Amino acid sequence: MTRISNSGDSSDSDRSNHNASDNDDSKKRLEDSLQDIAGYLDAVFNNMGDPIFVKDESCRLLLVNDAFCNMFNLPREQIIGKTLAERVPCNEREHFLSMDKQVLENGQEILSEETLTTGGCLTKTILTRKSRFVDSKGNYFLVGVIHDISERKQIEEHLKLAASVFSHSGEEICITDHNAKIIEVNNAFTRITGFSRKEVFGQHLSFLQSETHSSESDKEMWGILHNEGAWHGEVWQRRKNGETYILMKTISAIYDDNGVTTHYVSLGNDITPIKNQQDQLEHIAHYDMLTNLPNRSLLADRLTQAMLQCHRHKQSLAVTFIDLDGFKAVNDAYGHDVGDQLLIALSLRMKQALREGDSLARIGGDEFVAVLADLAQTEDCKVILDRLLLASSEAVTINDVIFKVSASIGVTIYPQDNVDADQLMRHADQAMYVAKGAGKNCYHLFDTTQDDAVKVQRESLEAIRVALDKQQFVLHYQPKVNMRSGKVTGVEALIRWQHPTRGLLNPMEFLPIIENNPMSIEMGEWVIDNALSQISEWQKRGLNLPISTSVNIAAVQLQQSVFTKRLAELLARHSDVDPSYLELEVLETSAMDDVIHVSKIMNACIKLGVNFALDDFGTGYSSLTYLRRLPVKLIKIDQSFIRDMLDDPDDLAIVEGVIALAKSFKREVIAEGVESIAHGTALLKLGCELAQGYGIAKPMPASEIPKWVNQWKPDTAWKIK
């Protein structure tokens, strides 16, 4: 019997066991691999910068990554299973869920830009891509990826704003490359220059400059630009039609990260209308509107220059004050129009009678002043004076009517009459009255030897000294008001002399006597001290008063080197008084003596808290340049112009010009010397609301101020719209 071996069966069994073992190993490796892949996917999922989420059909979150948790600042356990609709504001909640439902229902992928508010305050702009996923069991899921585009939107908005500013700016803007070749301009550039972008593209920035702009100025401008990176100034340019205009221009260099210039940006404002207005105001400020002759302001400047020339060349000059004889009768009989024509004709004749270097000015009415310069000796002026008398006395024909007047002329010679410009004019004025009294149609030379006047002056100074020592001076207060609103804006402290025998004296009876005398400084400090005391008393009594008080400061007091120190000491003595309640009024003429020095003093005082006003504006000799330098808050129109403004068109023009001038320099303006309701009404129509004067209230003792303030009401005629 042959035995059959079972080795074959054994081999099959071994192979079977071996295969099973291999399957287990493969399954193990597959499981490990899947686990690794899951870990990788989880790592990738949670390290994505953009938030990712998965929602079920009920819009509840099933899966989110770390970025999603960070966006809502919530842990995962507070997110899974929720819609997070409650985490956004009510006005965003409906939109928050409606987009999800739309994707789940339609299966259409949506890319939407949304506003998302998280944490109750932080609003972001997000771009979300949402799509539907269906698993093997037919379940719907929503998969979303969020991209925070807040920063991009901000950049877009900034760029949009910058583009809008560039396009709609009222300033002309021009951008050039590093060679100053134009590469871009805005609409304002086209409007102002008349050139289109196409016409200027590639042109050098300087091609717009007119011939008025010199090559030296251009070279200086680019030198500053290269050294400092920016330049600012006025440039004369030409429009496409050839018209020249003035541009206030700023050019700035643009640098790259290495500090190399890549572009230039030019911004400009057309200031031609402003310049024209300034020229008109300058002309109004310096020239008589009727005769076009220099006025007081320009005359004073020319007189000052002529006086300096006298010193330099050791010569003399004559100041002549000319008053027409019989002019008033012409005005009264034939009217102002004829009178004006006569003044124009005579002014032309008198100007022709003078030499080339002489000056003739009209200072008001029928009064003129001539400055005769470069006189080697006094007798040299007699020939010119005779010509002036002849020119003013020759007949003038107007409307077929022959008019014949004459002139009385007062003359003073400088430096024989060694006084300042103001005094020279006063002396010439005094001499004119002597000529008029001597029969008119002649001239009289001022007598510099006046022993009697010197004696009176000395006696008056002694009497004022005694009055100061015996406390005979008192302060009265004149209210200042807003005529339109009815508000009392302040008071002006005015000194009075309670003379033991003559009674209450007006300041004009003693202040001119101590002008430029050390006593004026002492009296000025006394006024400030007593005004501060009165403010303090009003405050302590709790009275409803305008405690803003102004005091007048003499030139000699203001210009002393220790004025600021002395003012600080006076303010410290009354520490309970706010310095802003004190206003210092400076005469225009005194402020102009040394405008740079005065301006420094005023600025130092302003730092102490006080304010400044420019008093008697229009009577001095200031220029617009000087006015611009003085840090005054308020301009006071001199009462001499207010008084006659209703009858004298020249004075009315001056008042109107001062108001316009004040507004141009952004200063407040107040009229002093308002004597009637009509004056106030006229001022309101001209745009001046602040006023003081007898038509409102006379100066009164401090004790009467409270009652007056409580009872005063503006006239109904002033309550105009």
Which of 27-31, 359-363, 603-607 shows the lowest mean pLDDT across its residues?
27-31
Is 635 within 8 Å of 669 (Cβ atoms)? yes
Provide the pLDDT for residue 601. 92
Provide the pLDDT for residue 35. 64
Query: Is the pLDDT score of 3 beyond 90?
Result: no
**Residues 274-287: tens digit of each pLDDT:** 888 877 888 788 89
Q: How confident is the model at residue 31 (pLDDT cuts 50, 70, 90)?
A: low
Query: Is the pLDDT score of 84 beyond 90?
Result: no
**Residues 459-497: tens digit of each pLDDT:** 889 999 999 999 999 999 999 999 998 899 999 999 999
Query: Is the pLDDT score of 36 beyond 70?
Result: no
Distance between CA atoms of residues 347 and 384, nearest Å? 15
Helix/strand number for the chain, H first, E second:
24, 27
Q: How confident is the model at residue 659 (pLDDT cuts 50, 70, 90)?
A: very high
Rg (CA), the chain: 44
- The residues near 686 (Cβ < 8 Å, ≥ 6 apart) are 655, 656, 659
Using a pLDDT cut of 90, give the percent of the chain over it.
Answer: 39
Distance between CA atoms of residues 272 and 432, nearest Å? 45
Q: CA quadruple 187, 191, 192, 194: dihedral positive or negative?
A: positive
Q: How confident is the model at residue 451 (pLDDT cuts 50, 70, 90)?
A: very low
The CA dihedral of 571, 573, 578, 581, to the nearest 10 degrees, is -60
Is 239 within 8 Å of 246 (Cβ atoms)? no
Is 354 within 8 Å of 384 (Cβ atoms)? yes
Q: What strand order describes the sheet that includes 230-238?
A: 182-185, 172-177, 261-270, 244-255, 230-238
Query: Is the pLDDT score of 450 beyond 60?
Result: no
Q: How confident is the model at residue 116 (pLDDT cuts 50, 70, 90)?
A: confident
**Residues 241-254: tens digit of each pLDDT:** 888 888 888 888 88
Provide the pLDDT for residue 442. 94
Distance between CA atoms of residues 243 and 297, nearest Å? 33
Query: What is the average pLDDT across 105-120?
Result: 77
Q: How confident is the model at residue 25 (pLDDT cuts 50, 70, 90)?
A: low
Cβ neighbourhood burial of 270 (10 Å; 0-12, 13-18, 19+):
buried
Provide the pLDDT for residue 18. 56
Query: Is the pLDDT score of 11 beyond 60?
Result: no
Which of 179-188, 214-223, 238-247, 381-390 shows the lowest mean pLDDT across its residues?
214-223
Provide the pLDDT for residue 108. 83
Q: Find the helix packing angle between 563-573 and 595-607, rounded to 10°.
A: 20
Which of 368-377, 407-416, 440-449 shows the lowest mean pLDDT across its residues?
440-449
Provide the pLDDT for residue 217. 75
Query: Is the pLDDT score of 162 beyond 90?
Result: no
Q: How confident is the model at residue 168 (pLDDT cuts 50, 70, 90)?
A: low
Mean pLDDT, the chain, integer: 85
Highest mean pLDDT among 218-232, 437-451, 671-685: 671-685
Q: How confident is the model at residue 377 (pLDDT cuts 50, 70, 90)?
A: confident
Q: What's the one-letter identity of residue 646?
A: L
Domains for the chain: give ranges and CATH numbers: 47-153 (3.30.450.20), 169-270 (3.30.450.20), 291-449 (3.30.70.270), 455-702 (3.20.20.450)
**Residues 300-317: tens digit of each pLDDT:** 999 999 999 888 888 899
Residues in the chain: 721
Provide the pLDDT for residue 7. 44
Cα three-residue angle 566-568-570, rounded to 5 degrees:
70
Provide the pLDDT for residue 17. 57
Provide the pLDDT for residue 32. 59
Provide the pLDDT for residue 390. 94
Distance between CA atoms of residues 200 and 176, nearest Å? 11
Query: Is the pLDDT score of 259 beyond 90?
Result: no
**Residues 149-159: tens digit of each pLDDT:** 778 777 777 76
Stronger pLDDT, 246 or 345, i.e. the higher one: 345
From 554, 645, 631, select the one nearest 596 (Cα to Cα): 631
- Specify the DSSP class assigned to residue 74: -
Provide the pLDDT for residue 33. 61
Terminal CA-to-CA distance of the chain, rounded, Å?
146
Query: Is the pLDDT score of 434 beyond 60?
Result: yes
Provide the pLDDT for residue 216. 73
Provide the pLDDT for residue 353. 93
- Global confidence as pTM: 0.42
**Residues 596-651: tens digit of each pLDDT:** 888 899 999 999 999 999 887 766 555 566 677 788 999 999 888 999 999 999 99
Q: Find the helix packing angle between 649-664 and 272-286, rounded to 10°.
A: 140
Query: What is the average pLDDT across 417-444?
Result: 91
